[in-house]
Amino acid sequence: MTTGAGLAGRSALVTGAASGIGRAVAAGLAAAGAGVVLADLDGDRCEAAAKEIEAAGHPGRVAAAVADVTDPEAWARLTRTARRCFGYPTLLVNNAGVLGGHGLAGVTADEWDRVVDVSQRGTWLGMQTVVPFMHLAGGGAIVNVSSVFGQIGSGAAFAYHGAKGAVAAMTRAAAVELAAAGIRVNAVSPGLVETPMTVGLPEQFVADFVAATPMGRMAVPREIAAAVLFLLSDDASFVTGTDLLVDGGYAAK
């Protein structure tokens, strides 16, 4: 994975970091010289991911933390951890998310609350909590992980579409609001990615999605992480308010 400019010595927070895209982002940040707090609801897997990143040649650059991104107090604890370990957090990746497969008619209130709370509320709380430290530090960069389903319909996953569409809208709103303070806010919208979260998807859905993807395959986490690292880095110093599709051409049809 290539690394972007200006990441060394920075303090970063990555949610949903125990596996998949979040873990790949955290590993890439550590390799680029940043100090990274890996946050996840699954504390054991998060700790294991942090130890693996350290063992890969990045000792002292990672810390693991259990966090429910829907809880403001959890975010306060995360920022305290980041400040104690690496200084004011100036890089934030809101990656935590959960799937919900039902269409409009089948969505329950519990499914709606669970999917929207993690993706939409979690992203809002993350930005609201971390941005004040970016102000103190004189700037920062945020990447929110949305989805190709934030831009197009699929005929299912109604709550997931709604949540990811909101993430993209919040990204644009925050980008305009924070630009003058030197804080850039962007989104990355993956297509289908080989992660533990997608392992349980119906085989026919996966086959149809891959068949409809011009590049003819799913992504792997490092391909999404590379896009995230670019947007966090100084190489993207004039990029804010964008939603970068990393979907193998799926939305271009």
Strand (E) or helix (H) holding 115: helix 109-116
Instruction: Report how far residue 29's alpha carbon sits from residue 187's, in angstroms, rounded to the nearest whole number.
Output: 17
Q: Tell me which amino acid residue 43 is.
A: G
3-state class of 9 per DSSP?
coil
Instruction: Report how far residue 68's alpha carbon sits from residue 161's, in angstroms, rounded to the nearest whole number.
Output: 21
Cα dihedral 39, 44, 49, 50, rounded to 10, equals: 70
Strand (E) or helix (H) holding 187: strand 183-190
Catalytic annotation present for 250: no
Catalytic choice (75, 160, 230, 250):
160
Query: For residue 212, what are its two tokens?
Result: 């409809």
Instruction: Report how far residue 24's alpha carbon sits from residue 246's, in angstroms, rounded to the nearest whole number.
Output: 15
Query: For residue 214, what are its two tokens?
Result: 């011009």
Contact 164/147 with Cβ under 8 angstroms?
yes
Looking at the annotation, which residues are catalytic? 160
